[in-house]
Amino acid sequence: MKTLFLPLAVATLMLTGCNTSSSEGDSAPMSHEARINPTDVVRGDAPELAALGSYETGVTTLTVVNENQTDLASSSEDGFATYDRSLTLEVWYPAEAVSDDVADRTSKAITRDGETIATLRGRAARDATPLYSGGPFPLILVSHGYPGNRYLMSHFGENLSSKGFVVVSIDHMESTYSDQSVFASTLLNRSLDQNYVLQEMARLNDDSSSVFGGLVDVSNAGIIGYSMGGYGAINTVGGGLSESATSLPFGGTPTQLGLLNQRQLSHPGYQDTVDSRFKAAIAIGPWGNQYGLWDATGLANIDVPVMVIGGSVDDVSNYEGGIKPLYQGLSGIDKYLLTFQNANHNAAAPMPAPQEVYATGDGFDHYADAVWDNTRMNNITQHFATAFFEQYLKGEDRSAYFDLIPLAQDGDEDAGTTWKGFNQRDAVGLEFEFELK
């Protein structure tokens, strides 16, 4: 096992028209220079818990290597080769304050075309000293779609780290914009990657010589997964795949898909891979249920709280045939369903399209939704993710933020009745359902 720090080059571009919140959660304008591709914006109409927290934050890049893994891309009828599976991680964390005169608050991100590099800017200072005195902090893993990368949902890292979480976003090898490969690799490796990163963060936390030594509360870990990341999250926290999972009509050869048997509920070793340190999961637009990858028995095997988020017209993960039935199939746990009416598959997860994407004209619709503004959706999801993880990872009572009528507009607006944390009328277009165990 190897862990490497990878410094990133930096650059500065310009864009007008955005505001970002201060560390106290108040909206305040940034300089003109700072407004290119901001990842920490909180709009004026954002719900209450989207506001940035009181912690200063840092960000750093790590690479972890899971050795001797199955190489599906080079498989044949004669068998499989093995390789070392390299996962680049972006880690946001509470940090000591860093002066703006010396702080590097930028990141370089590959965009959808696999070539164009965007410069992102947030509030987190690169390689800032962690705030050890405030720790340990609960861990949240972020897992992108197919394809994607560790920056696609960087707004979660910026936002949740300011509230006392360590947030680790994964570049899933063979599933990023730069190295997209056989789909069977993604099907097999999503949960394996998520479990391995949890193990590596636990190892680093126990290593007194590591910058993360003593910083991370790995016994209280959560996952945010989008699309294929959501598929992985459900499988990771106990949603063992159905018997039909190895006979999908696409995704790989029969030999490749046969390896999915280890992620099936019926496999004798599967249950041993369900790590009890994962205490909660958010699945955004989770893929796979529309093809029967789970049945009632598999979903009933999950014993941690789950929040499902989706767009009502998602035509990739199929809202009516996949996302909503997945929520309905969960049983015996606290479960929640947040729906963005008329949003498609990009609901809630992707950051706004970087300005460099406008210049190339390639991939804008990979980030954007035809109806909803990205930052608006991001803020709403940050609000609910904050309540969810503070409740289930920190033990704080956030139940009032979930005890909501399904449609806020059905409340008595004249009497001020609406969803907690939202101003009147600001929850229009949203639906919320929940059941408690």
Q: Nearest CA to 75 among 318, 259, 219, 266?
A: 259
Answer whether 285's CB lies under 8 Å from 107's CB. no
What would the two tokens of residue 273 be?
């891979």
pLDDT reported for residue 85:
97
Secondary structure string (H, E, C) spanning the chain: CCEEECCCCCCCCCCCCCCEECCCCCEECCCHHHHCCECCCCCCCCCHHHCCCCCCEEEEEEEEEEEEEEEEEEEECCEEEEEEEEEEEEEEEEECCCCCCCCCCEEEEECCCCCCEEEEECCCEECCCECHHHCCEEEEEEECCCCECCCCCHHHHHHHHCCCCEEEEEECCCCECCCCCCHHHHHHHHHHHHHHHHHHHHHHHCCCCCCCCCCEEEEEEEEEEECHHHHHHHHHCCCCECHHHHHCCCCCCHHHHHHHHHHECCCCCCHHHCCCCEEEEEEECCCCHHHCCCCHHHHHCCCCCEEEEEECCCCCCCHHHHHHHHHHHCCCCCEEEEEECCCCCCCCCCCCCCHHHHHHCCCHHHHCCCCCCHHHHHHHHHHHHHHHHHHHCCCCCCHHHCCCCCCHHHCCHHHCCCCCCCCCCCCCCEEEEEECC
Dist. CA 143–CA 152, nearest whole Å:
9
Per-residue pLDDT of the chain (437 residues; tens, 9 = 90+): 434 433 333 223 222 333 444 333 443 444 434 568 999 999 999 999 999 999 999 999 999 999 999 999 887 777 889 999 999 999 999 999 999 999 999 999 999 999 999 999 999 999 999 999 989 999 999 999 999 999 999 999 999 999 999 999 999 999 999 999 999 999 999 999 999 999 999 999 999 999 999 999 999 999 999 999 999 999 999 999 999 999 888 888 888 889 999 999 999 999 999 999 999 999 999 999 999 999 999 999 999 999 999 999 999 999 999 999 999 999 999 999 999 999 999 999 999 999 999 988 889 999 999 999 999 999 999 999 999 999 999 999 999 999 999 998 887 766 556 899 999 889 999 999 999 99
pLDDT reported for residue 361:
83
pLDDT reported for residue 416:
59
**Which residue(s) pair with 148 in the sheet?**
176
What would the two tokens of residue 422 be?
């939202």
pTM of the shown model: 0.92
pLDDT reported for residue 150:
98
pLDDT reported for residue 192:
98
pLDDT reported for residue 411:
79
Residues in the chain: 437
**Domains and their CATH numbers in the chain:** 3-400 (3.40.50.1820)
Residue type, 337: L
What would the two tokens of residue 363 be?
């991939």
Q: Which residues, 6+ apart, have CB-to-CB distance to 190 below 8 Å?
A: 143, 172, 175, 225, 228, 229, 231, 232, 235, 236
pLDDT reported for residue 18:
38
